[in-house]
Amino acid sequence: MVKRIMTDIGLVLAAFLLPWWVVFITIFILAFILENYYEALIAGIIIDTLYGSRFVLWNFPLMITSIFFIIILGIEQFKKQLNV
């Protein structure tokens, strides 16, 4: 439990301090390590709020949050197929 809280705090700090692509790689790795890592959506909302004008695609304002959600769901399905 403490490990998960510490990773959440680190991820939120990373969303504020690091470039978006570093947070993207971090979320990808943490989604493999931790089960149901939906806290990544909070980082996606932070990134969309801070840099939203850069990432607007087809006039959809929460693009990074949606990408993080798809990554989380895809990794969870992949882990089920691997029986992890």
pLDDT at 6: 92
Within 13 Å and on the Cβ side, how many CA atoms surround 80? 7
Rounded to whole angstroms, what are the CA distances from 84 to 28, 48, 76?
A: 16, 31, 10
pLDDT tens track for 20-34? 889 889 988 988 888
Task: For 54-72, write each residue's pLDDT tens digit.
Answer: 555 566 667 778 888 888 8
- Number of domains present in the structure of the chain: 1
Residue 67 half-sphere exposure, CB side, CA atoms within 13 Å? 19
Q: Which domain holds residue 34?
A: 2-82
In angstroms, rounded to a whole number, what is the distance separating the alpha carbons of residues 42 and 49?
11
Look up tokens 């850069």; give the residue: 54
